[in-house]
Amino acid sequence: MGDLTGKIAVITGAARGIGQGIAERMSASGAVVVVTDIDIVAATKCAAALPGSAIAIKHDVRDGASSITLATQVIEKYGQVDILVNNAGVGPKPGPVQHTTEEEYDRVMDVNAKGVFLTTKAFVQEMINRKRGCILNISSIVGQSGFGMVLPYVASKFAVTGMTQSLAHELAPYGITVNSIHPGIIRTDLHSAVVKQFAALQGQTEDETWNWFKGRIPLARFQTPADIGEMAVFLASDGAKNITGAAFNVDGGWEMH
């Protein structure tokens, strides 16, 4: 695991699931963690349980003003931000494209894609000024290869992958690295809700659908939030200072490129 001692890490959507796993691993590695989430009660609980120094701040990634307020609060308190993890996301409501509403498309894109843009925009000038920083964007295995019945979600995660590459080019002259992490199947509340809906669409039990997903994983095991946290810690550490614009699959072999 990398050493993040003294680094200030802001993690969006960190109250539970993957974000919480990243917060726990970064805190254990010495980072001061800012747990942000639209659910401030859960965020406060998460921050209090971390092993190191941490605070919780309410943040709605869909709102540019919220991102600016968050960045202002963090920089006023700590004087800098070393690591930004754009993790906040919502899952899809699976269904055929002809039955997918415009409202559903906008719901997913506003959080998963626009949220990355707005939060990054709010923090990046401080990193540019100091000529250092690390941005990690949480995409998905379907952010590299498409998957049927979840078009808005796939679109949002491909967007995250593309934004990562664009930012890596743009920010490299300032010593800022930008990479994406692509989680596989994790038994979080988000994935559980999706599996329940897929099971209904396919006329399967939820256990049958979980087993179908597991059967596609070469290592034949699901991933955990801690697995994603370990990758995030490495990419945020000095050991990864020469890595940027890259996509890292943490998926048991689902994607192999």
pLDDT greater than 70 at residue 1 = no
Q: Tell me: pLDDT of 242 over 70.
A: yes
d(CA 108, CA 178): 22
Residue 2 forms part of a structural domain = no
At 191 the pLDDT is 85
Tell me, yes or no, whether 257 lies in a domain.
no
pLDDT of 188 higher than 90: no
Catalytic residues: 153
Residue 256 placed within a domain: no
Is residue 31 within 8 A of residue 237, CB to CB? The reply is no
Q: pTM value?
A: 0.97
* CATH number of the domain that residue 63 is part of: 3.40.50.720
Residue 79's region, left for phi above 0, alpha for psi from -120 to 50, else beta, is left
Q: Which amino acid is at 160?
A: V
> What is the reported pLDDT for 140?
97
Identify whether the C-beta of residue 247 lies closer than 8 Å to the C-beta of residue 165: no
121 C-beta neighbours (distance < 10 Å), count: 13
User: Does residue 255 form part of some domain?
Assistant: no
Residue 1 covered by a domain? no
pLDDT digits (tens, 9 = 90+) for 226-240: 999 999 999 999 999
Per the structure block, which two tokens stand in for 78? 């700590």
In 3D space, the residue among 108, 67, 96 whose CA is nearest the CA of residue 197 turns out to be: 96
Contact at 8 Å (CB) between 43 and 60?
no
The overall average pLDDT reported for the chain is 97
Across 112-133, average pLDDT = 98
Give CA–CA dist 124/257, Å, rounded. Answer: 29
Output the pLDDT for position 87.
Answer: 98
Task: Please report, rounded to a whole number, the percentage of residues in the chain having pLDDT higher than 90.
Answer: 94
pLDDT higher than 90, residue 91: yes
What average pLDDT does the segment 11-33 reach?
A: 98
Q: Indicate whether 167 belongs to any domain.
A: yes
Q: How many domains does the chain have?
A: 1
> Is residue 86 within 8 Å of 9, Cβ to Cβ?
no
Contact 81/8 with Cβ under 8 angstroms?
A: yes
Least confident of 40-54, 91-105, 186-200, 214-228: 186-200
User: φ, ψ for residue 149 (rounded to 5)?
Assistant: 75, 5
Domain that holds residue 246: 8-250
**Band (198; pLDDT cuts 50, 70, 90):** confident
User: In 87-233, at which residue ranges do the beta strands (DSSP E only) sit?
Assistant: 133-138, 176-183
Residues shown for the chain: 257
The dihedral built from the CA positions of residue 219, 85, 100 and 154, taken in this order, carries a sign that is: negative
In a domain, 234, yes or no: yes
Least confident of 27-36, 88-97, 168-177, 187-196: 187-196
